[in-house]
Structures are given as structure tokens and as C-alpha cells.
Structure 1
Amino acid sequence: MSKKSKPRIYDKAGKQVTVADKSWYTFQASGEAEQRSIEIFVYGEIGAWGVTANQFLRDLRAMDDGVSPVIAAFNSIGGELFDGLAIHNALSRLGERCIGRIDALAASAAGVAVCGAHRVVIAANAMLMIHNPWTYAAGDADDLRKVADALDQSLEAIIAAYKSKAPDIDEAELRRMVDAETWLTANEAVALGLADEVGDGIKVKACLGQGSVLQRFQHAPSELLAQLDEEPEIEPPELVDPPEPAPVLDAAKLALMVTQGCAAAGISNLVDPILASTKLESEAIIQAALTKAKALHGLCVAARLPELTGEFITAGLDEAAVRARLFDKLVSSGGGFEINNSLPLESDPVPKVQAKQTDPQSIWASRQAAQNGNSKGAKA
């Protein structure tokens, strides 16, 4: 099975737009403050399975400044009617600064939504589809009659939405086309008044990966259905300049740097551990290793365990870890003093004199001597 490639969406400046995986829907603002514009990409199903009206209105409210032009671009097979009506009304409230754009397909609820824009531009190879509302139903005869009444009322909402965009359209003809599920080309949409301008054609997958939904329509154009069987277009990898070759390092020079650095710091016994840990990768790495080795050596000397320095360097331990290791070793051995290699400050308080530890044996001996003396005095 061939892997389907995800469509790429670009704004008018040619910059790729980051879109959501589920519905390929996004808002973005571009340009400077005085030339700012807001672009909305509704590339997916409208409703709970894609772009909900609640999400659309929340995002629009967050980005709209009340003055910037708004472009709403659609490529959608439709979805839930009332979400489409809510988006239609939101675009209508923006007034003359709102442009609706049909990039490939505005079907069903998407067609209702885009007609809320003050001006609609439809790509030369795009389509607008209008049809009756439909739904699933279950229940007894009374239940089904109620559903039928609701569908009739929904149809009136659809007709009102289209007539708000094309007030001069013949209503009887509009109802006939809606009832017949009519797929309008760009020129036909403009002729009816449902679009204002034919724009440049762009290549965008019309089914948006939702071909099963597209197939439920009765009169979907064969050109659109044929796209369901097309092999995905795999874009060739971008050609990039090969990286510049890394400079050739002089291993002998770097090894000499380690030897001389250790000799200068009085840690010549650590040459081998430093060579092994740095792998002579670069001068910067070696210099950092020498600085670290000096610090670790100082800690180990303070703990009277200098022989452990090489082991700690090989293990890659930092100063904090070495302090902890040394403390554990000293406590377990009974040495019992804290390691601190920092120099005392003038403001540091004078160390308190520790009280002498008690010696039970000497106390017992003193008491025995005192008792013997008292006994002798009593006898005298």
C-alpha cells in the first residue's frame, strides 16, 4: 500500500503554513502592523470531525484586531450544516474587509460558510457544490416526521445563506439546483453571483484524504473521484550543498598539549586518563578536561585520596559527584571530616571550638578513685 503524502499549504508569500494534522486548519497573521492581514485555512471537514464553529470563532476572536483584512481559504467537502452557518455569519460580520477564497472545493456546508464573505474568489479549477440537507434518522413515524420538518427548516436556512450572497439569483432556479445537488464550476458560480471573481488555478487535492465522504454525493464529478486513485506525488529531496569537510586534527600536537598541561599543573600522573577521556577531539575539549582534572585533583588531595583522581576522570564524574564519592569513603572509613576546597572569606565566622567527647572509661576510673579515697578517710 502506498503511503499518502500530506498536502502542503502555502500562504500568498510562498511560505509553508504549519497546519493541524486532523483537519489541516490554521490561522496566521502576516505583514507589518500597518499592512497586517489574517489568513484562515479551512482545509478539512466542517464540524466535530474537523473544524468546529466554536474553534473557528475562538481563533478568529483571538487574532482579529477589527481593522486588518481577513482571507478565509476553503478546500472542504463540507460537514455539519449549523457549524457552516455559524462560520457564514462570522465572516459576514467582518464586512467588506473579508474575502472568501475557494482554493479547490467548497461543498455543502463549506459552500454555505464561504458565501458569508463580502467577496468570494474561486480558483479557475475549483468547484462549489450546493445540495439539500440530509441526515441519519431512526424511530417511529412521528419521529421521522419531526426529522423531515427539521430538514425542511434547514433547507430554508441554506437558501437564505446563498441569497444573502446572491440577492438577485432566481430563487426557483436556486431551489432546483440545490435539490439536484449541483456542482458549479468557477465560471458558473460567478454567473450565478455565488462568487465574484475567478482567480488563478492552483493544484490542491480536492478530497483532502476524505474520499469516502466525497463518494456519498450523488453527482460528484468524475475528475474529483479519479483523484482518489492517483498515486501520491513524492517531491524530490531538496538539493543542499555538502557540508564542508572537518579540519584535520594533529593528534601529536593535541597529545603534547595534554602532556604539557598536566606537567604545568603538577598532575602528570593524569595524562593517560585525560587522553582516554578526550579522545583528542579538539583543543577546546582538551582545555576543558585539564581545567576539570585540576579541580578534581584538588578535591582528592584535600581528602587525602589523590590516587582516586584518575578513576574519577575516567568515569566522567563532575565535581559534585566526586565530592559525594569522597565524602562516602571518608565517613565509612571513620575519618569524619567535611571536604571543602574553597578558600575562607574574611567575613566567614570564626569556627566554634568543638566540645571534648566524653570518655566513659576515664569517668569510671575517676569515680572509683574518689570512692576509694572517701572509704580510706572514713576508716581513719
Structure 2
Amino acid sequence: MSKKARPRIYNRAGQRVPVQDKTWYALQASGDAAERVIEVFVYGEIGGWGITANQFVQDLRAMDDGASPVIAAFNSIGGDLFDGLAMHNALSRLGERCTGRIDALAASAASVAVCGAHRVVIASNAMLMIHNPWTYAAGDAEDFRKVADVLDQTMEAIIAAYKAKAPDIDEVELRRLVANETWLTASEAVALGLADEVGDGVKVKACLGQGAVLQRYQHVPAELLAQLDEPAETESDLEPDDPPLTPTVVDSAKLALMITQRCAEAGISNLVDSLLSSTKLENEEVVQAELARATAVNDLCVAARLPEFSAEFVAAGLDVAAVRARLFDKIVTSGKGFEIDNSLPLDDDPAPKVQAKQIDQPSIWSARQAAQAGKSRSATGARR
């Protein structure tokens, strides 16, 4: 089985470009046909903002030959509980040929997902975190009663997932640990039966760029939070065979043309001015990164049915996480509703997601009446 290499990105001049967003998801197969091993790397948030269960299942199905061993490697803060349950069930269906591997962290929904594997190996310096389901909610008292009922039901789904992996676990103790947001070391996870073996320790950056989200939890171990303050990779950290990062001559006109053409191809020409402002036409690497960010921001705004804010967000230099927060804040004023999320809140988390806006029939009727009255006045004036 081949070792997963650290990703490298080079520009056209052969220069190494530091990777900014280290959240990634990959699936690969290695070895000859007789020794084929399928590896799935779930390194990132689970759910609509990251790795969806649909993507996970479809990719796995496309590569699975029904016989090769499957290793599902996790380093995830968690996310959407129901996606985590779907991943759990997908791994469970693989039977004895499936191994779950916790490379650094399997928290929240990720802990549910990895427990679907027949055998779970947790690195000696990794952790597994379990906690109660959590959600945003808005509405009247009856709405909140319904939300509480749903949370109780999802709690039972979580308990069932853990007990499927550890049938001999004491349920009273399990519920206590879940309620207290418990961070389990490798040996503790094995002792409870949620993991089967302690593997070799590996150094993996906390959640690959999503470490800040760890702050939403209440009892995060200090050593994990400390990783958030580690400096980013510098030129001195590059491997010996990496080409040196040498300065290049910037062709501003060429970069401006690139932005215009790429935006036209992506259907986001309305963002050209914002990109010219945010990139300052510094260099091609910055432009490429900003184009990718602008596309992601625009996709989020379109999905939220608020495309009019995409230019503003791009010009402000907001990253995807910040845009999500602002979209949540804007959507919450349009109605009410709730959505289950197996994550705890940050102090400055936005208000809850809500249902789509309802049709305002009185306003539509008034607008039509006003338009009809205007036509009548115009016709009267014409006759005079």
C-alpha cells in the first residue's frame, strides 16, 4: 500500500505554490489486482459544506470491486449528523473487509461515521470525540417542542451507531460520556470498544485547515487548540527537491485579461471589478486563488438565493466560512424553521438556517393594482 503524499502545486513557471486551503477529500486504489487496497481520505467537514454522504457513497461505489480491502481514513471535526450516519451505514455494508482509521481526529458526526467500519484503528496520538446532537432553531413554543423531540430521536440514532460498534458497552456510561462532550484518547477509545487497535502516531495538522472550528466545542484538549497557532508552511519548510520560489515579473494587463476571460467562462462577469480590487493584480498565483474563491463564494450565494451579495463578499475578501456565516444571518430574517446539525456553536455563530421565503400575495396584488391604474391613466391621457 502506497503512502499518501503531501500535495504539491506548481505554477506554469515550475514554481512551488503554497497550499492555502488544506481541507481535502480523496479516494485512491493502490497495488496490483491481487493486492488492491482502496483508501478513502475523509479529511474535512462532513455534510453540505464539505464532504457529503452522497459524494462519499458514489465515489466509493465507483471504485469498489466488491473484494478489495477498504480503508476509510478520518481527520474530521464532524458536521451533519445524517450524512455521518449514511457514511456509517455505507462502511458497515462492506463487512469485514472495511477498516476505519483515525489519523488525527474523528469528532462528532465523524465519530459516528468511522464506527461503521468492521475494525477501527486509531493512531496513538489521535482522538475520538462524542457529544449530544445540536441544532439551530427558531419559532414559537410549539416549534421548539418539535425540535426537542427530533433531537431526542437523533440521540437514539447516535447511541445505536456506537452500540453497533461496541455492543458490550455500558449504555448508561455511554450516554453520560455523550452528554458531557467527551474527548477520548486512543487507549480510552479502545477500552470502550469504539476502536479495536492503537496504531502508530502520525503528525497531521489539526483538521487540515479547519482547526478554528474546534473552538465551537466546549472541552477541546489544549494540545489541539495549540495547533491553531502554529505558523503556516514557509519556503524553508519545502522539501529538498522543491524548486526555489523566485520573484517573477508581473504583467498587470495579462492578469486583468485573465480575470475577465475566466469570469466570462464561469458566468461570473459581475465579479470582475471585485476581483481586480481584491487581487490588486499582484501575481498569477494570487489571481488563480482569488478566482477559485470568487467561484466558491458565488456558488454559495446562488445556492442561498442571494446572488446579489456575491460581488460585495468577493470585494471584501471574505473566505467561504465567513460567507456562510453572513448568508445564515441574512436568511434568518426571511422565515422560520430548523435544521439538525451535530456541531456545537461558536460564540459568534450566525442565527439559524430557515425555510425559503413565503409568497407575499398581498404585495403582489397591490403591485398589480398599481400597474393597472398606471395603464388606465396613460390611456386616458392619450385620448385627451
Please, what TM-score do these two structures have when normalized by structure 1? 0.58
Q: Deviations over 1:279-312 (max 9, x none)?
A: xxxxxxxxxxxxxxxxxxxxxxxxxxxxxxxxxx
8 Å contact kept, 2:206–2:228 = no
Distance 1:161 1:50 in 2: 22
Residues 1:149 and 2:149 aligned together: yes
Contact 2:25 2:41 in 1 (8 A): yes
Whether contact under 8 Å (1:76, 1:105) holds in the other structure is yes
Q: Which has the larger radius of gyration?
A: 1
Deviations, residues 318-341 of structure 1 (Å, cap 9, x unaligned): xxxxxxxxxxxxxxxxxxxxxxxx
Distance 1:180 1:69 in 2: 35
Specify the SS of the correspondent of 1:227: helix
Counterpart of 2:343 in structure 1 is none
Which residue of the partner structure matches residue 200 of structure 2?
Answer: 200
Matched, 1:213 2:203: no
- The corresponding residue for 2:188 is 188
RMSD of equivalent CA atoms: 2.1
Q: How does 1:275-290 map to 2 (within 5 A)?
A: none
Moved over 3 A (4+): 11-23, 239-242
Of the candidates 3, 14, 23, which is equivalent to residue 13 of structure 1?
3
Give the aligned partner of residue 118 of structure 1: 118
Partner of 1:238: 240
Whole-angstrom distance in 2 between the partners of 1:128 and 1:173:
16
Q: CA deviation at 1:23?
A: 3.9
Report the alpha carbon displacement of residue 238 of structure 1 after superposing the two structures with TM. 1.9
| Secondary structure in structure 2 of the residue aligned to 1:74 | strand
Which whole-Å CA distance do the structure 2 matches of 1:180 and 1:230 have between them?
28
1:196 counterpart letter in structure 2: D
Gap runs ≥5 in structure 1: 1-10, 243-380
The total of aligned residue pairs comes to 232
- The separation in 2 between residues aligned to 1:240 and 1:176, in whole angstroms, is 50
Q: Does 1:88 align with 2:88?
A: yes
* Deviation sequence 1:208-249 (CA, Å, 0-9, x none): 22233210101011111111111124323424899xxxxxxx
Corresponding residue number in structure 1 for 2:331: none
Match of 2:69 in 1: 69
How far apart in 2 are the matches of 1:214 and 1:241? 35
Instruction: Give the alignment's TM-score, normalised by structure 2.
Output: 0.58
Q: Which amino acid aligns with 1:164?
A: A
Deviation at 1:207, TM superposition (A): 3.2
- Aligned twin of 2:40: 40
Cα distance in 2, alignment partners of residues 200 and 51 from structure 1? 26
Partner of 1:370 in structure 2? none
Contact between 2:70 and 2:98, CA under 8 Å: does it hold in 1?
Answer: yes
Identical residues among aligned pairs (%): 77
1:4 maps to: none
d(CA) in 1 for partners of 2:22 and 2:4? 23
2:132 is matched with: 132
**Residue 47 to residue 31, structure 1, CA distance change in 2 (3 Å):** same
Verify the 8 A CA contact 1:119 1:196 in the aligned structure 2.
Answer: yes
Aligned equivalent of 1:344: none
SS of equivalent residue, structure 2 residue 151? helix
Judge conservation of contact 1:44–1:75 (CA < 8 Å) in 2. Answer: yes
Which AA in structure 2 matches 1:72?
A: A
Q: Structure 2 CA distance, aligned partners of 1:189 and 1:241?
A: 43
- What residue ranges of structure 2 are gaps of 5+ in the alignment? 10-18, 245-384
1:22–1:240 Cα change, 3 Å: closer
CA distance in 1 between counterparts of 2:138 and 2:4 reads: 49
Match of 1:228, SS state, is helix
- The code of the aligned residue for 1:238 comes to P
* Residues 17 and 73 of structure 1: CA distance in aligned 2, closer, same or farther (over 3 Å): farther
Could you say what secondary structure the match of 1:61 adopts? helix
Per-residue deviation at 1:102? 0.1
User: Do the aligned partners of 1:131 and 1:180 also contact (CA within 8 Å) in 2?
Assistant: yes
Q: Tell me what 2:354 maps to.
A: none
Deviation track 1:67-94 (CA, whole Å, cap 9, x = no partner) reads: 0000000000000000000000000000
For the residues of structure 1 that align with 2:241 and 2:109, how far apart are their CA atoms? 42
For 1:207, what is the secondary structure of its paired residue? helix
Asked whether the 8 Å contact 1:121–1:195 carries over to 2, the reply is yes
Counterpart of 2:79, as a letter, is: G
CA distance in 1, matches of 2:158, 2:243: 55
Contact 1:131 1:177 in 2 (8 A): yes
Question: In the alignment, residue 13 of structure 1 is paired with which amino acid?
Answer: K
Aligned-pair distance for 1:13?
3.2
Distance 1:121 1:240 in 2: 33
